[in-house]
Amino acid sequence: MENINSTRPLGRSGITVSALGFGCWAIGGEWWDADGQPLGWGAVDDDESVRAVRRALDLGVTFFDTADCYGAGHSERILGRALGKRRHDVVVATKWGNLFDEDSRTATGQDASVEHARAALTASLARLGTDHVDLYQFHLSDADPVRAAELRDACEEFVSEGLIRAYAWSTDDPARAAVFAEGAHCAAVQHALNVLQDAPAMLALCEAEGLASVNRSPLAMGLLTGKRHERLGDGDIRSRPPAWLKGFRDGSGADPAWLARVDALRDILTSDGRTPAQGALAWIWARSPHTVPIPGFRSVAQAEQNAGALEKGPLTAAQLADVDRVLER
């Protein structure tokens, strides 16, 4: 599967990753906030998750993104189990800042202190079964920039201690991302990006600072897979979407207005034999040479479909223009 589009640099870190990463939120399984709001994607089969990670590895995916809170620690444990002796063949990213109770699988708050950053890193290393994290990401998107500067400096200490290789902030605010970008070992910013939700200001920052653009929600939380999402389980965050989760309506699945936009793009995204999901990933690669989309997965079949996008590469400039024309932007 090695071709000109198969790898990309992880910003200015000197680390190379597959152009496609896999997001490990979904394989964490069910977890909730203190009010019973689902924060996961429903029940999962851990054995299937392990098989899917290993299949992704066989198909050339070398970048896996998780967070300590996904499944209240469960995602990190499953990823560590799946990688096993192949840990050093991959680049592992995780996040910190959210608090949780692993036994009850419940989110319990947030902590932006430097002390917690170190404690969280130590715990993540244990769950992942590794001695270092390749990309350590601050998970509180709207945190105070002054505190973030202190955390950036703490991450530099983690690098010097060999605990991490690089770091990033998971935020949709370019001004906040720029605070972390001042650090020598800041390599990326993780932010939302998909064909329905462009992020020109953040991509401009990544271009200017030499950062990787790690893209969460590359398939618009599943809307760009071609599924209608009419029935969602009670343990699926999309069944009771929080304010930041666009494209879904409380208790009634996908928003028809968003589905109409997806339908309007179908012919472009399915060009050259692509599935809708593969076309959505192809748009991201064409949008910027800094992008590394990280779609979620829960099965071998999903891993195979997403990894299949690597063989087809990015959309053409003409197809990018067609997307803008259809969406009138």
Is residue 1 in some structural domain? no
pLDDT at 2: 38
Is residue 104 in some structural domain? yes
What average pLDDT does the segment 175-198 reach? 98
Q: Cα-Cα-Cα-Cα dihedral of 220, 225, 227, 233, to 10°?
A: -60
Domain of residue 30 covers 7-327
What average pLDDT does the segment 277-288 reach? 98
In angstroms, the CA 303 to CA 198 distance is 24
Q: Are residues 94 and 133 in contact, defined by beta-carbon separation less than 8 angstroms?
A: yes
pLDDT digits 0-9 by tens, 306-329: 999 999 999 999 999 999 999 998
pLDDT at 242: 85
- Give the count of alpha carbons within 13 A of 47, CB side only: 0
DSSP run (H or E) holding 249: strand 248-249
pLDDT digits 0-9 by tens, 78-122: 999 999 999 999 999 999 999 999 999 999 999 999 999 999 999
- Give the count of alpha carbons within 13 A of 229, CB side only: 27
**Does residue 184 sit in helix, strand or coil?**
coil
pLDDT at 276 over 70: yes
pLDDT at 255 over 90: no
DSSP 188: E
Is residue 2 in some structural domain? no
Domain count, the chain: 1
pLDDT at 230: 67
Q: Which two tokens mark 289?
A: 């040479």
Task: Calculate the alpha carbon distances from 324 to 195, 208, 260, 319 in Å.
Answer: 9, 24, 15, 9
pLDDT at 142: 97
pLDDT at 219 over 90: yes
Is residue 145 in some structural domain? yes
Is residue 97 in some structural domain? yes
Q: Among 310, 233, 315, 325, which Cα is nearest to 6's?
A: 310
pLDDT at 5 over 80: no
Q: Which two tokens mark 235?
A: 């343990």
Backbone angles phi, psi at 200, to 5 degrees: -60, -40
- The vertex-293 CA angle with 182 and 67, nearest 5°, equals 70
In the chain, % of residues over pLDDT 70:
98
Is residue 116 in some structural domain? yes
- Give the count of alpha carbons within 13 A of 7, CB side only: 13
Here the CATH number for the domain that contains residue 129 is 3.20.20.100
In angstroms, the CA 101 to CA 85 distance is 28
In the chain, % of residues over pLDDT 90:
87
What average pLDDT does the segment 40-58 reach? 97
pLDDT at 1: 35
> Which DSSP string do the residues of 91-107 spell out, in sequence order?
EEEEEE-EEEETTTTEE
pLDDT at 3 over 90: no
Q: Among 25, 140, 31, which Cα is nearest to 76's?
A: 25
Is residue 53 in some structural domain? yes
What average pLDDT does the segment 124-153 reach? 98
pLDDT at 236: 82
**Edge-to-edge strands, sheet with 186-192:** 21-23, 63-65, 91-96, 133-138, 164-170, 186-192, 212-216, 291-293
Kindly report the average pLDDT of the chain as a whole number: 95
> Which DSSP string do the residues of 115-174 spell out, in sequence order?
HHHHHHHHHHHHHHT-S-EEEEEE--TT--HHHHHHHHHHHHHHHHTTSEEEEEEE-S-H
- With 0-12 / 13-18 / 19 or more C-beta atoms within 10 angstroms meaning exposed / middle / buried, residue 266 is middle
Is residue 57 in some structural domain? yes
Q: How do 133-138 and 164-170 pair as beta strands?
A: parallel
- pLDDT confidence of 292, banded at 50, 70, 90? very high
